[in-house]
């Protein structure tokens, strides 16, 4: 991350803030050149990531902090989003989607993030908490159903 | 805990069941309210539950989980669940989740009330 | 400002970021209970404030920083927005709308901010730059044409 | 400097002038493009300039400034400027700015082409 983000958000871990963040992100992605479908997928991925930080990382507490950073990427064009928290640390290997053929409520979030974004990386932050780095390029392969 | 925001759901009686038409974006702040309202309707033992999604421009995985729960509880009672009038984003999330073939999805309320 | 904001934004002084910020703000205001018209007015006020920081404060440079902080207010219900910069300091007295009866392009921004918000305060920040504090309450008097 | 984003403006010829129909939100990132396109059209010396705002859900004071400039340049040439099909937010900003009585505002393109 050589240069500073175009835009950063610091928010409380409240589900009522998911909608404002999605709205901002759809507009940001559309200005970069993503079409309506792709912008919607980007907003969905971030929504799922935030929902997981709130539910799993912070166990549903609404007074903790989450940071989001947004970059427009050039050559190739696209965007990068980083989600950071001070929540419970988990081994990145353990954050994975379940078998979709087992039809049950829940367990779709990580699948949705992986299938809508081109690059997804979870890591433990040295200072505590987790970091998720998402990237999506303009004109990359369209979204596929999760395998 | 985060406050849950209530979802406005219109309902309409059918000869053999009920249509529920939620409106607004169904995300983690709103799915608990939708889940509660679906559970309430299931107590009336409908033979057919139609969920008209025309008023739902966006749904995340917590909304999808609510639909899967509705599917499971209708199956348990031998009732039928139909989803109708999906907006493009809601259709997309069901497709990515490979649930578009698990649910019975029809074009509109008329088709859902009479198949 | 006793408690920390619900949501904060740090952004570059780019006009392309005005739209994402407006979108976020409309959604935030609607969740608090403002109707469509009032939410639109809040987004307009912040848009004008940011445009002024970019044009007047930073002379159109697009690599400077602006901070926004958002609070939901309770008893009475409403919202507070603070816009901060490290731009040129100006005497708050000099930031005022012009006579509207003189029809000419420009000079409407401060009028729009004052007529759409219930409370508007410009001040110099001790650490440099300016701070604008805006408040709007739910159910306050409707917006009037600027006098 | 911030990059200016171009506004898509459709245009239609009238017997005595032209209709311009910009689309999208007109804020500080877009008003320079709209200003340039209006100036371009003014070079053709239309007797009537109609700006159809039905595709503009939002406009800030920089968009309003562009309209005031258009008003001034049409007046200078003895031409007529008409605004039509205002969306609620655009009407509201003109009202707050006390410009709703300064501009000639009509309901739709038909009314603007023939008054
Ligand atoms: N931010 C996070 N912090 C901790 N654990 C997480 C996080 N995100 C995901 N996980 C883990 O990954 C699993 C799969 O997440 P997901 O696919 O979103 O399904 P669900 O949240 O419905 O269980 C979660 O059950 C949780 O154990
Ligand atoms: N953030 C700011 N920093 C410095 N000066 C400002 C700022 N905001 C407003 N002003 C001053 O107030 C005047 C009125 O602003 P405004 O009503 O928005 O009209 P305009 O920007 O079109 O001149 C500006 O011309 C400028 O001198």
Give the model's confidence band at A145: pLDDT under 50 very low, under 70 low, under 90 confident, else very high: low
Q: Is residue B1 situated within a structural domain?
A: no
Q: What is the pLDDT of residue A101?
A: 86
Q: Considering chain B, what percentage of its residues have pLDDT values greater than 90?
A: 91
Length reported for chain C = 147
Domain of D21, in residue numbers: 8-114
Cβ-based neighbours of D99, under 8 Å, separated by 6 or more = C103, D64, D67, D68
In 3D space, the residue among B11, B4, B7 whose CA is nearest the CA of residue B23 turns out to be B7
Q: Considering chain C, what percentage of its residues have pLDDT values greater than 70?
A: 95
Q: Is residue D91 situated within a structural domain?
A: yes
Angle between helices D88-96 and C36-52 (to 10 degrees): 60
Q: Is residue D3 situated within a structural domain?
A: no
Q: Is the Cβ pair D96, C111 closer than 8 Å?
A: yes
Q: Which domains occur in chain A, in start order?
A: 7-137 (3.30.565.10)
The mean pLDDT value for C31-35 works out to 95
In 3D space, the residue among B55, B57, B56, B107 whose CA is nearest the CA of residue B82 turns out to be B107
CA distance D41 to C39: 35
Please, what is the Cα angle at B10 between B96 and B22, to 5 degrees?
A: 20
In 3D space, the residue among C1, D46, A147, C18 whose CA is nearest the CA of residue C9 turns out to be C18
**Neighbouring subunits of A (3+ Cβ pairs under 8 A):** B, C
Interface A:C, ≥3 CB–CB pairs < 8 Å: yes
pTM attached to this predicted model: 0.94
ipTM of this complex prediction, to 2 decimal places? 0.93
- For residue range B21-77, list pLDDT tens digits in order: 999 999 999 999 999 999 999 999 999 999 999 999 999 999 999 999 999 999 999
Q: Residue written as tokens 């209006």?
A: D38
The mean pLDDT value for D72-82 works out to 96
* Number of domains making up chain B: 1
- For residue range B91-115, list pLDDT tens digits in order: 999 999 999 999 999 999 999 988 6
Q: Is residue B109 situated within a structural domain?
A: yes
CA distance D60 to A119: 37
Best residue among A50, A51, A56 to mutate for probing ligand 1's pocket (most ligand atoms within 8 Å of CB) is A56
C84 has a chain D CB within 8 A of its CB: no
Asked if residues A77 and A33 have their Cβ atoms less than 8 Å apart, the reply is: yes
Cβ-based neighbours of D3, under 8 Å, separated by 6 or more = C14, C15, C16, C62, D29
Q: What is the pLDDT of residue B5?
A: 77
User: What residue of B is the nearest CA neighbor of A142?
Assistant: B96
Q: Is the Cβ pair C112, D89 closer than 8 Å?
A: no
Q: Is the Cβ pair C112, D93 closer than 8 Å?
A: yes
Q: Is the Cβ pair B2, A47 closer than 8 Å?
A: no
- For residue range D34-76, list pLDDT tens digits in order: 999 999 999 999 999 999 999 999 999 999 999 999 999 999 9
Q: What is the mean pLDDT of chain B?
A: 94
A44 has a chain B CB within 8 A of its CB: yes
User: Which residue's CA is minimally distant from atom 20 of ligand 1?
Assistant: A107
Residues of chain A with C-beta less than 8 angstroms from the C-beta of B1: 60-62
- CA distance readout (Å), C82 to A25, C54, C71, C125: 21, 16, 9, 12
DSSP H or E segment with residue C114: helix C109-116
Q: Is residue D1 situated within a structural domain?
A: no
Q: Is the pLDDT of residue A146 over 80?
A: no
**Neighbouring subunits of B (3+ Cβ pairs under 8 A):** A
A144 has a chain C CB within 8 A of its CB: no
Q: Is residue B35 situated within a structural domain?
A: yes
User: How many interface pairs between C and D have CB atoms less than 8 angstroms apart?
Assistant: 94
The contact set of B with A (CB < 8 A) is 1-5, 25, 27-29, 58, 60-62, 64-66, 68-69, 71-72, 88-89, 92-93, 95-99, 102
Interval between CA A97 and ligand 1 midpoint (Å):
8
Which of A16, A22, A109 comes nearest B61 by C-beta?
A109
Q: Is residue D47 situated within a structural domain?
A: yes
- For residue range C116-142, list pLDDT tens digits in order: 999 999 999 999 999 999 999 998 766
Q: What is the pLDDT of residue A1?
A: 47
Please indicate whether residue A65, judged by its CB atom, sits closer than 6 Å to ligand 1.
no
CA distance C51 to C71: 21
Please indicate whether residue A129, judged by its CB atom, sits closer than 6 Å to ligand 1.
no
Phi-psi region of C32 (alpha: psi -120 to 50; beta: other; left: phi over 0): alpha
Chain B interface test: which of A60, A101, A108 (most B C-beta within 10 Å): A108
- What is the CATH number for D33? 3.30.750.24
Q: Which atom of ligand 1 is nearest to the CA of A57?
A: 3
Q: What is the pLDDT of residue C58?
A: 98
Q: Residue A141 gets which letter from DSSP?
A: P
Q: Is residue B84 situated within a structural domain?
A: yes
A15 has a chain B CB within 8 A of its CB: yes
- For residue range A105-143, list pLDDT tens digits in order: 888 999 999 999 999 999 999 999 999 999 999 987 667
Q: Residue C55 gets which letter from DSSP?
A: I
Q: What is the pLDDT of residue A147?
A: 46
């Amino acid at each position: 991350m050589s240069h500073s983000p175009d835009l950063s958000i610091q928010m409380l871990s409240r589900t009522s803030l998911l909608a404002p963040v999605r709205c901002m992100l759809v507009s940001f992605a559309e200005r970069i050149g993503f079409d309506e479908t792709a912008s919607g997928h980007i907003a969905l991925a971030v929504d799922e990531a935030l929902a997981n930080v709130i539910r799993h990382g912070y166990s549903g507490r609404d007074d903790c902090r989450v940071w989001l950073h947004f970059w427009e990427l050039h050559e190739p064009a696209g965007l990068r989003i980083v989600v950071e928290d001070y929540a419970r640390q988990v081994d990145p290997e353990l954050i994975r989607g379940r078998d979709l053929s087992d039809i049950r409520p829940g367990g779709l979030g990580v699948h949705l993030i992986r299938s809508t974004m081109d690059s997804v990386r979870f890591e433990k932050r040295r200072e505590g908490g987790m970091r998720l780095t998402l990237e999506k390029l303009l004109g990359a392969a369209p979204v596929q159903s999760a395998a | 805990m985060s406050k849950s925001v209530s979802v406005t759901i219109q309902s309409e009686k059918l000869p053999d069941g009920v249509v529920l038409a939620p409106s607004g974006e169904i995300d983690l702040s709103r799915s608990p309210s939708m889940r509660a309202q679906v559970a309430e309707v299931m107590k009336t033992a409908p033979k057919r539950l139609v969920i008209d999604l025309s008023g739902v421009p966006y749904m995340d995985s917590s909304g999808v989980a609510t639909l899967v729960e509705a599917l499971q509880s209708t199956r348990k009672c031998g009732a039928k669940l139909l989803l109708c009038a999906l907006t493009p984003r809601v259709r997309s999330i069901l497709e990515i989740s490979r649930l578009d073939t698990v649910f019975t999805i029809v074009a509109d309320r008329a088709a859902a009330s009479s198949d």
